[in-house]
Chain A
Amino acid sequence: MSVSLALLLTAGVLVACGVYLVLERTLTRVVLGFVLLGNGVNLLFIVAAGRPGKPPFEGTADPETMSDPLPFAMVLTAIVISLGVTAFGVALAYRAWQLFGHDEVPDDVEDRRVLRRGRRRPGDADVIWHQSLDEESRRGALLASQRDEEDPLGADLSGAEDVAQDPTEADEGESRP
């Protein structure tokens, strides 16, 4: 099977741009990145269809000389699906903008937690280990890890709705004069 180099290169460029955009922080760019990625992959199907031929209508030409219609049918389906999903992604970005004022993709919860642990390690450890055995500390380290109000850990990890959100880069940019 011969393959069109131009198509392959175009697909490659689209995928590369798509990957770059997907790695961005804001959801809108990520969604645009997926549009490019999807188009790049759709081009791969057209590569898979092989050489261009006559239109595949029954009885108009020798089937040997027609293009293979199946990949195009699949591409059409994929386009429709990506249309719907893109619409959802944009709606999600809009909702995020309504709620938070930006549409940045949040950090991984666990990552933030580990980072915060690392920050407050010096000195703070003594407080945890040397506290007296009152009623609260009988509940063990579990509650101790959630004790200080600065660390809305339990709330953040729970399924409760509308908990306080950790500041992201955009928030910090706004708060700085």
Chain B
Amino acid sequence: MNLLLALPVLLPLGGAAITLLLRHHPRIQLGLTVSTLVAILGVAITLGLVVPEAGVLVLQIGNWTPQLGIVLVADRLTALMLLVSAAVTLAVLIYSSAQTVSENTERTPVAIYHPTYLALVAGVSMAFLAGDLFNLYVGFEVLLAASYVLLTLGGSASRVRAATTYVIVSLLSSVIFLAGIAAAYSATGTVNLAELAVRLDQVAEGTRMVIELLLLVAFAIKAAIFPLSAWLPDSYPTAPAPVTAVFAGLLTKVGIYAILRLETLLFPASQTSTLLLVAAGASLLIGIFGAVAQTDLKRVLSFTLVSHMGFMLFGIGMSTRLGMAATIFYVAHHITVQSTMFLGAGLIEYRGGTTNLARLGGLAKTAPMVAVLFFVPAMNLAGIPPLSGFLGKVGLIEAGIAYDTTAGWILVGISVLTSLLTLYAISKIWNRAFWQAPSEMVETDGRPIPRVMTGATAALVGFSLLLTLGAGPLLHYADAAALSVLERSPYVSAVLGEEAAAQLVYSIGEDGQKVVER
């Protein structure tokens, strides 16, 4: 059963190699990519069913000891992330298959699209499964390298300009990450996450703080947390819609996932809690103000993405059981919804010929299907009951009230305000793109949208509704995931055995405070 853990990484890597060889056969390529992603989805569903019963799964590659070799670890959190990312990547690929075939065949080198996409999926899975810090770095690099290629697909002027900023910022975060790993290795002599958890508990407070801040900055750049978020709205909107969808949904969430692991497993309830809450509040507010001010659909969505990263950081900053459970639920919800929104934006662009909100108009009449496919995730993003966004936000706000500190109450206020402003930004899009009289610039007789594109978007909308319908069981699952993440010992004992877990000094209590166990 443990061998399953290798599949989400191995399958797409192998698929990438084969699709690269088959670059002159686009249909076979497409079939192969889709079947690879379906297989990954199957593996992820199996993992999601197995992990709650079997506990944390560990795979030691090549039977090296965990301290020396590469370890893949899947706990509840990882399994959920894998499942959602597999579903989203599959839907986005199917969506993009219609677009690339019908539109850009001559202009973009479609041949490298599929291999790169699969490499991206491999990198994302690897980052989720990584059991040591260096493997996490490699996973990040794989997905970043793939994302550079996807962002510059076709090499047009605007994409090259956007990618320049993106590549520089990502390189910087990678260098900082690498320096953080070097520091962690000097301090503890290991990069295995479980062993780091044990040894970092013994390290002097100041040293621990330095390592934590180094890694936190590296991850926060990737997750686009406010002071480090300026690169995102400039680089994402120029990419093709499906690429933006998968970037917005997954890449930032990989950063949040890394921050979650960092703040719980490696540095339990450290002194950075207030810092995280301040960054969360700033992200929420400044992101949403940016969204309100924008005039381009994709840029509005990019800014709401920056803003909503703050919700997840809010939960991580509190690190109470309730907050953590709500965060995990919210991550799953947000990956789905943000990707769907960008796919919807792609549909609007396809139909209206532009994403400029001043020029769009009248789509509610001319393309009612697009309107429905945009409306549902939009309301979900804004947090209208009874959709999953509402449930996630209620969880976070409830946790913030229970947290009962000044920072907590301020964050609760900011969260509510942000939800309201999100609704404003969303309804602005709605009014302009769907209700205002179409300007003469819009091709009102526009092209019909391929069925595959609407179908894939509808499938993702359906998936997000499934998250809403299954919210009860899912929240129980997230709660169990949060509990095991906060206790730390299940993870450590699964990787290194009970004795190592007994050496852990700290864990995080249900109220988010550091508990000294020994």
Query: Is A143 part of the contact surface with B, judged by Cβ < 8 Å?
Result: yes
Contacts A100-B157, A105-B164 given; indicate if A158 touches B237 (C-beta within 8 A): yes
Shortest beta-carbon distance, A60 to chain B, in Å? 18
Q: Say whether B158 contacts A160, CB under 8 Å.
A: yes
Contacts A77-B134, A85-B145 given; indicate if A22 touches B68 (C-beta within 8 A): no
Give A30 to B175 CA distance when docked, in angstroms. Answer: 13
10 residue pairs, one from A and one from B, having the closest CB atoms:
A44-B182, A48-B186, A161-B156, A143-B358, A48-B185, A154-B356, A157-B296, A41-B178, A81-B141, A41-B179
Interface residues of B in 264-285 (CB under 8 A from A): none
Shortest beta-carbon distance, A86 to chain B, in Å? 9
Q: Say whether B141 contacts A85, CB under 8 Å.
A: yes
Interface string of B65-82 (1 = CB under 8 A from A): 000100000000000000
One of A44, A84, A99, A105 near B179 (C-beta < 8 A): A44
| B100 contacts across to A, CB distance below 8 A | none
Contacts A45-B182, A48-B182, A160-B158 given; indicate if A109 touches B234 (C-beta within 8 A): yes
> Do most interface residues of chain A lie in helix, strand or loop, or is the interface mixed?
helix
Give A175 to B59 CA distance when docked, in angstroms. Answer: 61
In the assembled complex, 16 residue pairs joining A and B whose CB atoms fall closer than 8 Å, in A order, are A30-B168, A34-B172, A38-B178, A45-B181, A47-B186, A71-B182, A74-B134, A74-B181, A78-B137, A96-B160, A106-B164, A157-B295, A159-B239, A160-B158, A162-B156, A162-B157
Interface residues of B in 228-249 (CB under 8 A from A): 230, 233-234, 237-239
Q: Say whether A41 contacts B182, CB under 8 Å.
A: yes
Q: Say whether B354 contacts A95, CB under 8 Å.
A: no
Contacts A41-B175, A85-B171 given; indicate if A159 touches B185 (C-beta within 8 A): no
| B458 contacts across to A, CB distance below 8 A | none
A-B contact count (CB 8 A): 142
Give A42 to B144 CA distance when docked, in angstroms. Answer: 19
Q: Say whether B356 contacts A158, CB under 8 Å.
A: yes
Query: Is B138 part of the contact surface with A, judged by Cβ < 8 Å?
Result: yes
Q: Say whether A70 contacts B160, CB under 8 Å.
A: no
| A105 contacts across to B, CB distance below 8 A | 164-165, 168
Query: Is B357 part of the contact surface with A, judged by Cβ < 8 Å?
Result: yes
| Chain A: CB-nearest residue to B67 | A70
Query: Is B191 part of the contact surface with A, judged by Cβ < 8 Å?
Result: yes
Give A27 to B355 CA distance when docked, in angstroms. Answer: 29
| B201 contacts across to A, CB distance below 8 A | none
Q: Say whether A92 contacts B355, CB under 8 Å.
A: no
Shortest beta-carbon distance, A30 to chain B, in Å? 6
Q: Say whether B237 contacts A77, CB under 8 Å.
A: no
Contacts A44-B182, A105-B168, A154-B358 given; indicate if A161 touches B237 (C-beta within 8 A): no
Contacts A34-B171, A92-B163 given; indicate if A146 touches B358 (C-beta within 8 A): yes
| B156 contacts across to A, CB distance below 8 A | 161-162
Give A98 to B4 CA distance when docked, in angstroms. Answer: 46
| B154 contacts across to A, CB distance below 8 A | 161
| A165 contacts across to B, CB distance below 8 A | 157, 161
- 8 more contacts with CB within 8 A, not counting A74-B191, A108-B165, are A34-B172, A41-B182, A81-B141, A142-B432, A158-B298, A159-B237, A161-B158, A161-B159
Interface string of A17-35 (1 = CB under 8 A from B): 0000010000100100010
| A85 contacts across to B, CB distance below 8 A | 141, 144-145, 148, 167, 171, 174
Give A160 to B355 CA distance when docked, in angstroms. Answer: 8
Task: Please give the number of chain A residues whose Cβ is less than 8 angstroms from any Cβ of chain B in the complex.
Answer: 50
| A99 contacts across to B, CB distance below 8 A | 155, 157, 160
Interface residues of A in 110-155 (CB under 8 A from B): 110, 139, 142-143, 145-146, 153-155
Q: Say whether B160 contacts A154, CB under 8 Å.
A: no
Interface string of B397-441 (1 = CB under 8 A from A): 000000000000000000000000000000000001000100100
Q: Which of A99, A108, A158, A162 has the most CB of B within 10 A?
A: A158
Contacts A45-B185, A157-B295, A158-B296 given; indicate if A95 touches B358 (C-beta within 8 A): no
Instruction: Give chain B's interface residue range (CB within 8 Å of chain A).
Output: 35 or more
| Chain A: CB-nearest residue to B176 | A41
Contacts A74-B181, A106-B164 given; indicate if A158 touches B171 (C-beta within 8 A): no
Query: Is B299 part of the contact surface with A, judged by Cβ < 8 Å?
Result: yes
Contacts A45-B185, A92-B163 given; indicate if A38 touches B175 (C-beta within 8 A): yes
Query: Is B253 part of the contact surface with A, judged by Cβ < 8 Å?
Result: no
One of A45, A70, A89, A159 near B68 (C-beta < 8 A): A70
Query: Is B333 part of the contact surface with A, judged by Cβ < 8 Å?
Result: no
Query: Is B394 part of the contact surface with A, judged by Cβ < 8 Å?
Result: no
Query: Is B110 part of the contact surface with A, judged by Cβ < 8 Å?
Result: no
Query: Is A1 part of the contact surface with B, judged by Cβ < 8 Å?
Result: yes
Give A142 to B356 CA distance when docked, in angstroms. Answer: 10
Query: Is B510 part of the contact surface with A, judged by Cβ < 8 Å?
Result: no
| B164 contacts across to A, CB distance below 8 A | 27, 92, 96, 105-106
Give A81 to B167 CA distance when docked, in angstroms. Answer: 14
| B238 contacts across to A, CB distance below 8 A | 159
Q: Say whether A22 contacts B168, CB under 8 Å.
A: yes
| A106 contacts across to B, CB distance below 8 A | 161, 164-165
Query: Is A57 part of the contact surface with B, judged by Cβ < 8 Å?
Result: no
| A48 contacts across to B, CB distance below 8 A | 182-183, 185-186
| A38 contacts across to B, CB distance below 8 A | 175, 178
